[in-house]
């Protein structure tokens, strides 16, 4: 029996291998259970309520649709019916820049099909940055 100055030195170790096993298991769980969303080619930018600085380098191309279904690209009225005259007017006003921001300003009473036609024309021409202009609702009003 040893009594005296001999101290028993306990080496305290933290075994990290079980911690790594648990982390890798959690990582595999989250990777396997997450959903992968395939975004469409035409992206819609939802309106935001906060005031943020905007990129003013390239002004957005504006497509306006009135309640009668008439299309205006910039300040030019689209003459003719269907999607082809709309595509020609958009291409003429936008030039070769397909990365340009496009804003659709439709009257609240515009038929939904007219907005879809404008979005379809933009998608066929290769535009991917699209936003739909809205007006902020008043507090306490029903949407």
- For the ranges 16-30, 63-77, 85-99, the maximum mean pLDDT occurs at 16-30
Is residue 47 within 8 Å of residue 134, measured between CB atoms?
yes
- Tens digit of each residue's pLDDT (9 = 90 or more) over 100-139: 889 998 888 888 898 899 999 999 999 888 888 877 766 6
d(CA 127, CA 95): 12
d(CA 138, CA 20): 53
What average pLDDT does the structure give for the chain?
77
Range scoring the smallest mean pLDDT among 13-27, 47-61, 77-91, 101-115 = 47-61
Is residue 124 within 8 Å of residue 90, measured between CB atoms?
no
Q: Is residue 44 over pLDDT 50?
A: no
The token duo for 45 is 């930018």
16 against 2, higher pLDDT: 16
Place of tokens 């279904």: 69
In this prediction, residue 41 carries a pLDDT of: 44
Residue 27: pLDDT band (50, 70, 90) is: very high
Residue 73 bridge partners (DSSP):
63, 76
Domains in the chain, CATH or no CATH each: 61-135 (3.30.420.270)
Q: Choose among 50, 122, 130, 51: nearest CA to 91.
A: 122
The token duo for 8 is 């028993």
Give the number of other CB atoms < 10 A from CB of residue 141. 6
5-19 average pLDDT score: 74
DSSP 46-62: PP-SS------SSPPEE
In this prediction, residue 54 carries a pLDDT of: 52
Q: Choose among 45, 38, 37: nearest CA to 119.
A: 45
Residue 26: pLDDT band (50, 70, 90) is: very high
Q: Is residue 2 over pLDDT 90?
A: no
d(CA 130, CA 62): 10
């Amino acid at each position: 029996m040893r009594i005296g100055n001999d101290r028993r030195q306990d080496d305290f170790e933290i075994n990290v291998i079980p911690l790594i096993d648990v982390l890798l298991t959690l990582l595999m769980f989250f990777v396997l259970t997450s959903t992968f969303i395939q975004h469409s080619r035409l992206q819609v930018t939802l309106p935001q309520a906060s005031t943020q600085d905007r990129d003013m380098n390239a002004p957005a191309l504006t497509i306006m649709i009135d309640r009668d279904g008439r299309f205006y690209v910039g300040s030019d009225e689209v003459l003719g019916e269907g999607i082809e005259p709309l595509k020609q007017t958009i291409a003429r006003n936008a030039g070769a820049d397909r990365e340009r921001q496009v804003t659709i300003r439709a009257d609240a009473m515009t038929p939904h099909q007219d907005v879809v036609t404008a979005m379809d024309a933009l998608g066929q021409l290769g535009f991917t940055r699209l936003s739909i202009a809205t007006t902020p609702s008043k507090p306490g009003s029903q949407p």
